[in-house]
Amino acid sequence: MRKPVIAGNWKLFKTKNEALALIEELAPQVKDVDNVEIIVAPVFTVLPSLVPATAGTNISLAAQDVFWEEEGAFTGEVSSRMLLDAGASHVIIGHSERRQYFGETEATVNKKTKAALAGALVPIMCIGETLDAREAGDTFKVLETQLKGGLEGLTASQFAPVIVAYEPVWAIGTGKTATDDQAQEAHAFIRGVLASLYGQETAGKTRILYGGSVKAENVKGLMSCADIDGALVGGASLKAATFAPIVRFRD
């Protein structure tokens, strides 16, 4: 069975004290939730402060990006080694905002995914089509290109820890969620591509998260879909009152 993952992407929000206050409020509200992996992704600078705050809780820490080199003359970048040192266990890679505003491509996503794996971080690799691509009937083509490009050169055993997040760009931060059927269709397609790359067994074990305006009101329907194994949550992860009910989707 695939253990569900509920991950909160805090994006460019939350200073240290704001992040600590959120963890303090969230942790007791989710402490009895078992069999769900709970992850939050603060900005880089806040990661070390959240290590003691999350110690002894069921909440893990992710970074929102990683650079592919381990060290060197790369001003402004942060490597997987440094993220591990700062307390992250996971890292979001290829989020659509990074593709849109920071020039991320399949090639950079691939290098970052390999660097994360080499650095013992679990990559949460994001893929998803724009509204234009969906309307042009290119959804599957885009997903396949992003998936194969991002994973190029990885063997099945290297790929095994990777978590994939399907985030239709038109549903991120817009309040528009894919319907359960639209999301399930994309997830089943993604699992099929993974099976073609790595075999049924590995594909069957891969967690594929849905992201795009996930809220307490729609999480149950999404989580009841056969190929949806969790959620990557933006806006609704910024408050314990809206994130805890998503984590507690089984209640």
Which residues are at the interface with ligand PEP (CB under 6 A)?
9, 167, 172-173, 211-214, 232-236
In the bound state with ligand PEP, the residue whose beta carbon lies nearer, of 164 and 198, is 164
DSSP state at residue 152: T
Which residues, 6 or more positions from 18, have their beta carbon under 8 angstroms from its beta carbon?
none
Q: Closest approach of Cβ 234 to ligand PEP, in Å?
A: 2
Q: How many C-beta neighbours within 10 Å does residue 46 have?
A: 23
In the bound state with ligand PEP, the residue whose beta carbon lies nearer, of 123 and 212, is 212
**Distance from C-alpha of 228 to C-alpha of 6, rounded to nearest angstrom:** 11
**What are the angstrom distances between the C-alpha of 143 and each of 75, 135, 136, 193, 243?**
32, 14, 14, 9, 27
In the bound state with ligand PEP, the residue whose beta carbon lies nearer, of 194 and 222, is 222
In the bound state with ligand PEP, the residue whose beta carbon lies nearer, of 198 and 227, is 227
Give me 11's structure tokens.
């994006």
Instruction: Judge whether 135 counts as a catalytic residue.
Output: no
Residue least distant from ligand PEP (Cβ): 234
**Distance from C-alpha of 49 to C-alpha of 172, rounded to nearest angstrom:** 28
In the bound state with ligand PEP, the residue whose beta carbon lies nearer, of 123 and 211, is 211
Q: Closest approach of Cβ 44 to ligand PEP, in Å?
A: 17
Question: Dihedral, CA atoms, 229, 47, 29, 8, nearest 10 degrees?
Answer: -30
Q: Closest approach of Cβ 235 to ligand PEP, in Å?
A: 3
The single residue of 90, 95, 97, 187 carrying the catalytic annotation is: 95
Burial class (CB in 10 A: 0-12, 13-18, 19+), 107: exposed
Instruction: Judge whether 95 counts as a catalytic residue.
Output: yes
Residue 73, SS3 per DSSP: coil
Q: Closest approach of Cβ 11 to ligand PEP, in Å?
A: 6
The single residue of 37, 97, 106, 167 carrying the catalytic annotation is: 167
Q: Closest approach of Cβ 70 to ligand PEP, in Å?
A: 27
Give me 34's structure tokens.
């078992």
Length of the chain: 251
The residues annotated with a catalytic role in the active site are 95, 167
